[in-house]
Amino acid sequence: MKRFILTLITLFTMNTLFAQELIELPKPQKTGGKPLMEALNERSTSRDFIDKELTEQQLSNLLWAAFGINRSDSKKRTAPSSHNNQDILIYVTTRNGVFVYNAQEHALKKIFGEDMRAVSGHQNFVKDAAVNLIYVSDFSKLGKTTDEIKRITAATHCGFIGQNVYLYCASEGLISVFRAWINKEKIADKLQLPEGFEVIYSQSVGYSK
C-alpha cells in the first residue's frame, strides 16, 4: 500500500513537472510561403550568420516544417521514416536555452536554461546562429537490427528533415547549414542523453549578415 501511494505521488510529481516544462508554440502557419519551385530554386547552404533571434512564429513554423505532425488522425509527420518509427528527436539550442521539440503537443520542453549553441559544432558561426537543431535518434525505436543499420537509417531520416528545414529557410529568407562536423560524444554528454540515444547531425538556422 505504502509503495502504491509512493508511486502515485511520484507519477503525479512527474506529470506536473512535465506539464510545467512544456512551452506551447504558436500554431504553425501551414499556408503561404514561396511556391515550392521557387523555394527549391533558392535552397542553398550559407554560414554567414548574425546573432539575431527568430520570432516564436518562425520557430514554430520551422519545427513544424522540419518534423511536425501533418496528419492529425495518423500522427504522421512532414518527413518520412522507415516503418513510420519516428526515431528522430530534435533538440533546439537557442540564446535562451536548450529544448526538445514535442511534435504531438507542438511545444518545446525546456531542458537547460543556458545558451549552449556553441556546443553543437566545431565551426565558429554556430555560436551566432539563432537556432542550432541537433538531430538525435532514439535507437530503441529502430527495431532489432545492428547499430550500423540503425545509423544509416537515422542519417537518412535526418536528411529528409534537413531538406524540409532548408526549404522552409529558402521560403522565409533565412539561411541554413546542415552539419556533420560535430563532436557527437561531447554533445551527448552536454545534453545528458540517455543510453540508446545517439546524436546524428546538426543544422544551423538563422539570419544572414
Ligand X SMILES: Cc1cc2nc3c(=O)[nH]c(=O)nc-3n(C[C@H](O)[C@H](O)[C@H](O)COP(=O)(O)O)c2cc1C
Residues whose CB is less than 8 angstroms from the CB of residue 81 and which lie 6 or more positions away in sequence, other chains included: 87, 88, 157, 160
Whole-angstrom distance, CA of residue 126 vs CA of residue 49 = 8
Can residue 207 be called a binding residue for ligand X (CB under 6 A)?
no
Residues whose CB is less than 8 angstroms from the CB of residue 22 and which lie 6 or more positions away in sequence, other chains included: 102, 105, 107, 108, 109
Beta bridge partners of 50: 207
Classify each residue of 162-179 as buried b or exposed e, where b means 16 or more C-beta atoms within 10 Å of its C-beta: bebbbbbbbbbebbbbbb
93: its cell numbers: 539550442
Q: How far is the CB of 83 from ligand X (least distance, A)?
A: 23
Tell me whether residue 111 or residue 188 sits nearer to ligand X (CB atom): 188
User: Which residue in the set 171, 178, 187, 207 belongs to the binding site for ligand X (CB under 6 A)?
Assistant: 178
Can residue 45 be called a binding residue for ligand X (CB under 6 A)?
yes
Q: How far is the CB of 27 from ligand X (least distance, A)?
A: 30
Tell me whether residue 47 or residue 76 sits nearer to ligand X (CB atom): 47
Tell me whether residue 99 or residue 178 sits nearer to ligand X (CB atom): 178
Q: How far is the CB of 122 from ligand X (least distance, A)?
A: 8
User: Which residue in the set 34, 47, 76, 110 belongs to the binding site for ligand X (CB under 6 A)?
Assistant: 47
Q: How big is the site for ligand X, counted in residues (CB under 6 A)?
A: 9
Can residue 44 be called a binding residue for ligand X (CB under 6 A)?
yes
* Contact between residue 136 and residue 200 where contact means Cβ atoms under 8 Å apart: yes
* Angle, alpha carbons 41-47-48 (nearest 5°): 100
Can residue 49 be called a binding residue for ligand X (CB under 6 A)?
no
78: its cell numbers: 512532414
Which residue type does 85 have?
Answer: N
Q: How far is the CB of 78 from ligand X (least distance, A)?
A: 19
Residue located via cell numbers 529544448:
99
Binding region for ligand X (CB under 6 A) out of 40-48, 64-72, 146-154, 183-191 = 40-48
Other residues' Cβ atoms within 10 Å of the Cβ of residue 105:
13
Q: How far is the CB of 126 from ligand X (least distance, A)?
A: 9
Q: How far is the CB of 108 from ligand X (least distance, A)?
A: 25
Can residue 151 be called a binding residue for ligand X (CB under 6 A)?
no
Query: Residues in the site for ligand X, rule: CB under 6 A?
Result: 44-45, 47, 123, 177-181
